[in-house]
Structure 1
Amino acid sequence: MSDLFDTPAPAGAEAPRPLADRIRPRHLSEVIGQRHVLGPEGPLGAMLAAGSLGSVIFWGPPGVGKTTIARLLAHETDRAFVQISAIFSGVPELRKVFEAAKLRASQGKGTLLFVDEIHRFNKAQQDSFLPHMEDGTILLVGATTENPSFELNAALLSRAQVIILERLSLADLERLAQRAEQALGRALPLKAPAREALLEMADGDGRAALNLIEQVMAWKVQAPLDTEALSSRLMRRAAKYDKSGEEHYNLISALHKSVRGSDPDAAVYWLGRMLEGGEDPRFIARRLTRMAIEDIGLADPQAQTICLHAWEVYERLGHPEGELAIAQAAIYLALAPKSNAACMAYVAAREAARKTGSTPPPRHIINAPTKLMAEQGFGAGYQYDHDAEDAFSGQNYFPEGMRRPVFYAPVERGFERELKKRVEWFAKLREKRGS
C-alpha cells in the first residue's frame, strides 16, 4: 500500500501559505495599527518624508508588526532586506552578513539588516554592529520584546532610535479579521459576540489573531457559532506574562501605583492579572507589605498587620482561598489614608547620619558604668523623663553642636493627624523649657 506522505507533489505545486503570510501588507500604508509611528507626525513617517531613515530599535510585544514594518522599510528605501535572529546567529554568521553588505555597498546597493530578538546578543556581539552602522554598510532595524534600556548597550542605543510599537486594539484586530475574510472570500462562521470573543483571545497579537481566524475558517459548520460553542472548540490564549521578565515588573508597578493612587478597583484588577499569569502570591503579599510601610505608614499602622495576616492566611490556606485574603489586603491598602512621612524621615535621618559620621551622643545621655567615666562627666545632668512634668524633660538628644533637625513631619491624614498633634505639643513644651 502506498504511503500518502511519500507521494511526490505535482510539478509546479506550491505549498500552502499561512494566512498571515498571504495577507501581509505590501506598503506601509496597509499596515494595521501603529499610526503613532507610521503617521505623518510619527517618527518613521517623518524620517521617510525627509528621506533620512536611520537605524531603529522596535520595542513591543509579539505580533504587532515589527518584522512586517522592517521589510516594508527596506522596500520603501530600495535596500536589500536581510533578516537574522539573535537566537540562531553567532559571530561567524554576523561576519558573513557584514561581508555581503559591504559587497552590496560597493555595487551601490544598501542593506537593511533586521535583527529579531536583538537583546539576546551579548555585549561583544552588539558592539560588532557599531562600525558597520557608522560607515553606512548596514541600516540596523532591531526588534525586542524586552526593555532596551536594560538589555542593549548604551553605545548601540546612542546610534539607533528606540520606537515603541503597541499591542493591537480590538478595532485593529477587527480590521485584520475583515482583511482575512476578504482574502478568503467568506465571512467568519461566528455570531457577533463570538467574533469579539475570538479577537479578545488574541490578546493584542495580530499573528495570533490570524492563526485563530485560519483555524476557525477551516471548521465545517452549518450555522454561525455562539460564544459557548467557540469556547468549547478553542482554548483561550494565555496572557503574556513572564514571571522573571519585564512584564512581571510592569504589572507589580501598576498594582503598587494603583494602591498609592487609592483606586481599589484598579488595584484588584492588576492583582488579578498577575495571579492569572501565574505569579507567586507570596511575592505579591511581600510587595503589599512594602506598600503598607512605604505609602501608608503611620497614617494607618494597622495596614502592616493586615498585610502580614493576609500573607500568613495564604500560607495556611493556599490556592485559591488564600488569594482572597491577599485581595482583601490590596483593597484595604488602596482605601487607607496615605503618608510617606515616616519613610521620608528615615531617608533624611540616614543622610544626616552619613554627614555627621562618628560624632558621639551628648555626654549627659551616655551611661557611666565606671568611676573614670563618671569623673569625665558622662551621665552628668541627665534628667529622668518620668520625674519631669508631663513625663517630658525636653533635653537635647542630638550630638553636641548639631543644630536640631526636623525629620518627621506627619500629615493631616488618618492616624498621623493625631501624631501631628503630639509632635506639635512636644515642640511647644521643648520651646517652653528652653531646650
Structure 2
Amino acid sequence: MADLFNTSAASETANAPTDETQAPRPLADRLRPQVLSEVIGQGAVLGADGPLGAMLGAGALSSLILWGPPGVGKTTIARLLAQATDLHFVQISAIFTGVPDLRKVFEAARMRRGNGQGTLLFVDEIHRFNKAQQDGFLPYMEDGTILLVGATTENPSFELNAALMSRAQVIVLTRLTLADLELLTQRAERALDRALPLKAEAREALLEMADGDGRALLNLIEQVMAWRLKAPLDRESLSKRLMRRAAKYDKNGEEHYNLISALHKSVRGSDPDAALYWFARMLEGGEDPRFLARRITRMAIEDIGLADPQAQARCLEAWQIFERLGSPEGELALAGAVTYLALAPKSNAVYMAYNAARRLAKKTGSEMPPAHILNAPTTMMKEQGYGAGYAYDHDAEDGFSGQNYFPDGVKRPVLYAPPERGFERELKKRVEYFARLRSKRQGERGT
C-alpha cells in the first residue's frame, strides 16, 4: 500500500529505459523540471525574494497550499521541494484516497520519522476532502510527522477550513504567460530535436490555445509533431486541425464571481470595450444569459440610477428581447444594453440615499409619524389629534406646503444628493428649489 502513495517509485520507473513493448512517455513527463530553477513562469514565488525561495534560503520550509490553475507546476514544485529538503515525497489525490488510506500514509510517515527521515505529503485536489477529513491532517502537521503541501485550483479561503489554513501558508501560482509558453515550446523543440512545423502566426495561435496551461501546450505540441508535415501550417490550417481549448470557467465557482465583478466594474468605469469583453467571456464560458440580464439591470439601478432613467428600461427591454428571441439574437440585445450602460452618465446617489435611509430607519426604531400627517378615519383618532393641522399641498402657493414629514424629534437629514451629471442635473435643481421653498414656508410659520 505504501507504493500506492509513493510517486518517487513511479518516477523512477518512468525514467527507466523503455523497451519496444512500452508506450513512449508523454512529452509533459519527459520535460518535467529536475530542479526548481528549471520551473517556468513562477519566478515570483521561487526567486530568492519570493516566499518559497526565502523559505529554502532560510532552511525552514513550512506546510503549504499551492493555489493556481491547471498546468502551472503545482505537482512538480511539490516534488522538487521534497528533493531540495531531503524529505521523502509521498503523493496522494483527495479524489481517490479515503480515511483508511490516510491512516496508512500517516503510520508510514511516523515510522519513517523514527528512522530519521521526514515526509513531504503532497495532496492533490486537497479541496475535495471535506472539513472533517481536513481536520485529520492537523495532529500530524503539528507534531512534525508530515510537512503538508496541498494543491488546489479553488480558492482556499472558500474550500479549506480555518484550522488547516492557519497552519499552512498559501502560495499563489499564476497561469503561464505567452512568453512563458514560448520558453516551454523552445524547450520541447530542443528535446525533440526539431522545430515546430508552424508559421509565426500559427505558432502564436498554438500558444493561445493552451490558455496558460503548460501541460496542455506540451500535449498540443505532441499532436502537431506527430503529423509529419511537409510544409509549415498557417493559422487557419492549424485551427482546422486543432480545437481551441475551452476557457476555464466555473459557473458556480470563483471564476464566475471574478468575471461578473470585472464586467460590473468595467460598466461603472464607463469602458464599453472592456465591458463587452467580460460579457463575451462569460457567455463563451457557458454562463446563463438570464443571469447576465438580471445583473446588468442591477448595474443600471445601482450605478446609473436617475442620471439616465432610460437605462433601466433599456435593460428590461433587452431582457425581454432575449426571452422572445433566444440565442444568439437575444444575446446581441443584451450586448447593446451593456454598451449603453457603459456610456451612460453614472450616479449612485439613489443607491447611497436608500442605504442612508435604511440606517436612519434602524436607528429611529418605531418613531411615529408627526400627528398632522396621520390618517384619522375615526372620531376617537380625530380627538387624539390625528391629522390636525395638515396642509393640503395642492391648496398651498406653488403647490408646496413645506411641512415636516419626519418623526417629531428627528432632525431632518439630507439623504438624496444628486450630482451634476446626466438627468440628475435637473433633479438637483428641483431639490434645491424645494429646499428654498421649504425654508421660506418655515420662516412664514415661524418654525
TM bin, normalised by shorter chain, reads over 0.9
CA drift of 1:171 comes to 0.6
Partner of 1:417: 425
Instruction: Give the Cα–Cα distance (whole angstroms) in 1 for the partners of residues 81 and 197 of structure 2.
Output: 36
Among residues 336, 353, 362, which one is paired with 2:344 in the alignment? Answer: 336
Letter in 1 for 2:351: C
Instruction: Give the Cα–Cα distance (whole angstroms) in 2 for the partners of residues 172 and 156 of structure 1.
Output: 32
Partner of 1:233: 241
The one-character-per-residue Cα deviations of 1:147-200 (angstroms, maximum 9, x if unpaired) are: 111111111111111111111001101110111111111111111111111111
Among residues 182, 207, 211, which one is paired with 1:203 in the alignment? Answer: 211
Which range is displaced more, 16-25 or 419-428? 419-428
Instruction: Give the Cα–Cα distance (whole angstroms) in 2 for the partners of residues 128 and 361 of structure 1.
Output: 59
CA drift of 1:374 comes to 0.5
Moved over 2 A (4+): 10-15
Instruction: Give the Cα–Cα distance (whole angstroms) in 2 for the partners of residues 401 and 11 of structure 1.
Output: 93
1:281 and 2:273 equivalent? no
Among residues 248, 252, 277, which one is paired with 1:244 in the alignment? Answer: 252
Question: Aligned to 2:376, what secondary structure does the other structure show?
Answer: coil
Among residues 362, 371, 388, which one is paired with 1:380 in the alignment? Answer: 388
Partner of 2:195: 187
Structure 1 segment 2-41 matched on structure 2, within 5 A: 14-41=22-49
Question: Aligned to 2:92, what secondary structure does the other structure show?
Answer: strand
CA drift of 1:240 comes to 0.9
Q: TM-score, normalised by structure 1?
A: 0.96
Instruction: Give the Cα–Cα distance (whole angstroms) in 1 for the partners of residues 221 and 378 of structure 2.
Output: 87
Question: Aligned to 2:149, what secondary structure does the other structure show?
Answer: strand
Letter in 1 for 2:46: L
The one-character-per-residue Cα deviations of 1:110-141 (angstroms, maximum 9, x if unpaired) are: 11111111111111111111111111111111
Among residues 43, 58, 73, which one is paired with 1:50 in the alignment? Answer: 58
Among residues 75, 78, 98, which one is paired with 1:67 in the alignment? Answer: 75
Instruction: Give the Cα–Cα distance (whole angstroms) in 2 for the partners of residues 208 and 260 of structure 1.
Output: 36
Partner of 1:320: 328
1:152 and 2:160 equivalent? yes
% identical aligned pairs = 79
Partner of 1:109: 117
Question: Aligned to 2:72, what secondary structure does the other structure show?
Answer: coil
Partner of 1:311: 319
1:265 and 2:273 equivalent? yes
CA drift of 1:12 comes to 8.5
The 1:318/1:16 distance shift into structure 2, 3 A limit, reads same
Question: Aligned to 2:171, what secondary structure does the other structure show?
Answer: strand
Question: Aligned to 1:163, what secondary structure does the other structure show?
Answer: strand
Instruction: Give the Cα–Cα distance (whole angstroms) in 2 for the partners of residues 301 and 50 of structure 1.
Output: 61
Unaligned ranges ≥5, structure 2? 1-17
CA drift of 1:321 comes to 1.1
Partner of 1:5: none
CA drift of 1:15 comes to 3.6
The one-character-per-residue Cα deviations of 1:366-387 (angstroms, maximum 9, x if unpaired) are: 1110000011100000000111
Letter in 1 for 2:130: N
1:133 and 2:141 equivalent? yes
Q: CA RMSD in A?
A: 1.2
Partner of 1:255: 263
Question: Aligned to 2:90, what secondary structure does the other structure show?
Answer: strand
The one-character-per-residue Cα deviations of 1:261-318 (angstroms, maximum 9, x if unpaired) are: 1110000000111111111111111000000011111111111000000101111111
Letter in 2 for 1:222: K
Question: Aligned to 1:168, what secondary structure does the other structure show?
Answer: coil
Instruction: Give the Cα–Cα distance (whole angstroms) in 2 for the partners of residues 300 and 40 of structure 1.
Output: 53
Unaligned ranges ≥5, structure 1? 1-9
Partner of 1:120: 128
Partner of 1:366: 374
CA drift of 1:256 comes to 0.6
Instruction: Give the Cα–Cα distance (whole angstroms) in 1 for the partners of residues 215 and 350 of structure 2.
Output: 49
Question: Aligned to 1:433, what secondary structure does the other structure show?
Answer: helix
How many pairs does the alignment contain? 426
Instruction: Give the Cα–Cα distance (whole angstroms) in 2 for the partners of residues 390 and 160 of structure 1.
Output: 70
Partner of 1:168: 176
Instruction: Give the Cα–Cα distance (whole angstroms) in 2 for the partners of residues 160 and 220 of structure 1.
Output: 48
CA drift of 1:39 comes to 1.1
Instruction: Give the Cα–Cα distance (whole angstroms) in 2 for the partners of residues 191 and 257 of structure 1.
Output: 38
Instruction: Give the Cα–Cα distance (whole angstroms) in 1 for the partners of residues 43 and 354 of structure 2.
Output: 47
Question: Aligned to 2:366, what secondary structure does the other structure show?
Answer: coil
Instruction: Give the Cα–Cα distance (whole angstroms) in 2 for the partners of residues 271 and 195 of structure 1.
Output: 28
Q: TM-score, normalised by structure 2?
A: 0.93
Letter in 1 for 2:154: E
CA drift of 1:35 comes to 1.1
CA drift of 1:68 comes to 0.6
Question: Aligned to 1:37, what secondary structure does the other structure show?
Answer: helix
Among residues 78, 92, 99, which one is paired with 2:100 in the alignment? Answer: 92
The 1:16/1:99 distance shift into structure 2, 3 A limit, reads same
Instruction: Give the Cα–Cα distance (whole angstroms) in 2 for the partners of residues 246 and 370 of structure 1.
Output: 58
